[in-house]
Structure 1
């Protein structure tokens, strides 16, 4: 597997393996793939050994996108990520969407630790 450019198949194989992160910046490399549908699928699969990691990835990809300097389409991209979770009946995905809406509607300020650090992957803003 080329660590810096993993395919969907390689990500899926890793997700169901017992292998550690292939690289220190594995989450950054995965964020470049923008495979939000795959991350949602794996974050909601209770049989996936790395389920919590993929929930982290959903927050991480929003954080990476939000913190991009001078990208005029970043808000639209973040909204499109959240839309991918519509109809997914899973509490963590619903909380992720609520948190995105709170961020984009200026009800909360962006904090690196919350989004890219994954601190509130288990929490929901109110």
Structure 2
């Protein structure tokens, strides 16, 4: 971890480059629940590219982070954030290559339309959809 991140505190505010380096490393997750640290609207396209790249060493981790991201936004019930997520899903759908990524997109769209189907086991940390 010391090679990628300056310290444990910095791992909670990683730069896109640090996330990218970690994605292709053999390092363990730098911090518990780190999915929460990498998730942001700005990072989602990059995270999607990792899932579509079989050379990424942490595909399941990043897939889980996408499910957590969607789940947290839908559960928040903040209309502006949900609308922003919908637009992002439409954008990443245009370039999604793998079945895993397309499943996340389709499941996310379904959850947005049917928020009452939210289940933490699938949309929270350790998502059953990812692991």
TM-score (norm. length: structure 2):
0.81
**Which residue pairs with 1:36 in the alignment?**
44
Residue 121 in structure 1 maps to residue 130 in structure 2: yes
Q: Structure 2: which 5+ residue stretches go unaligned?
A: none
CA 33–3 in structure 1, closer or farther in 2 if over 3 Å, else same: farther
Residue 56 in structure 1 maps to residue 56 in structure 2: no
Which piece of structure 1 moves more, 73-82 or 14-23?
73-82
Residue 103 in structure 1 maps to residue 97 in structure 2: no
**Which residue pairs with 1:3 in the alignment?**
11
| Structure having the larger proportion of residues in helix | 2
Equivalenced residues, count = 121
1:86-97 map, 5 Å: 86-87=93-94, 88-97=96-105
Give, in angstroms, the shift of residue 25 of structure 1.
2.4
**Which residue pairs with 2:81 in the alignment?**
74
Runs of 4+ in 1 over 2 A off after TM superposition: none
Query: Greater RCO between the two (CA within 8 Å, min separation 6)?
Result: 2
CA distance in 2, matches of 1:89, 1:37: 13
TM-score (norm. length: structure 1):
0.84
Give the root-mean-square deviation of aligned CA atoms. Answer: 2.0
